[in-house]
Amino acid sequence: MPLSSPSRGPLVAIVGPTAAGKTALALDLSHHLDLEVVSADSRQIYRYMDIGTAKPSASEMRLVPHHLVDVVGPDETLTLAQYQELAYRVIDDVLARGRLPLLVGGTGLYVWSVLENWQIPRVSPQPDLRRRLEEEAARHGPEYLHRRLADVDPTAAAGIHPNNLRRIIRALEVFQQTGVPISRLQDRGEPRYRYQVLGVTAPRRELYRRADQRVDAMIERGLVEETRRLLEAGYSPQLPAMSGLGYRQVAEYLAGQYDLSEAIRRIKTCTHRFIRQQHTWFRLDDPRICWFEQPLDPQEVLSVVRLFLEDRGQY
């Protein structure tokens, strides 16, 4: 059967904002279904970064196999095209073993590129160009590059936050190399799998409370020590991996810019903002997503999955 066939599935995805309970639901389902987890988290791809990325614990990964965790070093990059290719390879392997692949994560780019078979430009990174663009952003601010992108690709600019420098630079990089806006290159292909998307969420205030608890737990588990080890190993705080939630604020604390209580406050504030941004990828009115609100009824979720596997579900 051709790989592009939509009947090649099945594939189940669990999506939703940070701290909503995606990992816990995946583990609950693993007690009833023969499955393997495929991570769709753009932070868990980095090795040596365990606490701040909320990776599954060793015991959780012994309970159910996890894939696409610890893929690259903190000073390496993994493009969306590379992630998509790795995800397809892993999903196909899981299906070949007769097991259910469970795509779990809150990175919308990762999730939808796999489910909708985005035709991603295979344009290799250009370090010199990226460096020049980063220098321009440092001088004029990321909004300056965002305006440049809006001039050549207004569609892409409308979908990228003005502060998301990495995606802005990538879009400009693709346009400069191909002469074609990235928004025109990112068409959707025929889905490779028959899929069901499960969404996990909670009221906004509850999400913030859960996120704050997670941040406190990360500090208790040793986020400061983990960040210090990364810096002592030579990983620059300017690396994209080190600029993520938690690591950036702790690195600034270690550099003496403010005390630990202020670092924790900033991590929580930025996490709240990130939760709001995630809702642009996973909207509550999206008909592709079957939403469940905390506290979950695992049996209700399981019944939806079983209906889908019996080919009586929505997708």
Output the CA angle 25-31-32, nearest 5 degrees.
100
Mean pLDDT across 196-200: 98
**pLDDT, greater one: 35 or 182:** 35
pLDDT at 7: 47
State the average pLDDT over residues 242-270. 96
52 closest CA partner among 263, 194, 197, 198: 263
300 confidence band (pLDDT: 50, 70, 90): very high
Q: What is the DSSP letter of 84?
A: H
Q: Which residues contact 243 (CB under 8 A, 6 or more apart)?
A: 237
CA terminus-to-terminus distance, the chain? 19
Whether 185 has a pLDDT exceeding 70, the answer reads: no
For 144-178, how does the pLDDT look when each residue is reduced to its tens digit (9 = 90+)? Answer: 999 999 999 898 888 888 888 888 998 899 888 87
* Predicted local distance difference test score (pLDDT) of residue 224: 98
Report, as an integer, the average pLDDT of 177-197: 83
Cβ contacts of residue 303 below 8 Å, gap of 6+? none
Q: Strands 100-104 and 35-39, how do they pair?
A: parallel
Q: Which residues sit opposite 195 in a β-bridge? A: 11
Reported as a pLDDT band with limits 50, 70 and 90, residue 128 is confident
Global pTM exceeds 0.85? no
Mean local confidence (pLDDT), 190-198: 95
pLDDT at residue 115 tops 80: yes
Helix runs in the chain, H state only: 22-30, 58-63, 80-96, 108-115, 127-140, 142-152, 154-158, 165-178, 182-185, 204-221, 223-232, 247-254, 260-278, 298-309
Residue 186 has a pLDDT of 66
Q: Is the pLDDT of residue 54 over 70?
A: yes
What average pLDDT does the structure give for the chain? 91
Euclidean distance between CA atoms 107 and 13, whole angstroms: 12
Per-residue pLDDT reduced to its tens digit, 67-89: 999 999 999 989 888 999 999 99
- Per-residue pLDDT, averaged over 201-214, amounts to 97
β-strand 11-15 against 100-104: which pairing, if any? parallel
Handedness of CA 246, 251, 254, 256 (dihedral sign): negative
Is 8 a residue whose pLDDT tops 80? no
| Closest alpha carbon to 277 in 64, 23, 107, 40 | 107
Q: β-strands 35-39, 11-15: how paired?
A: unpaired
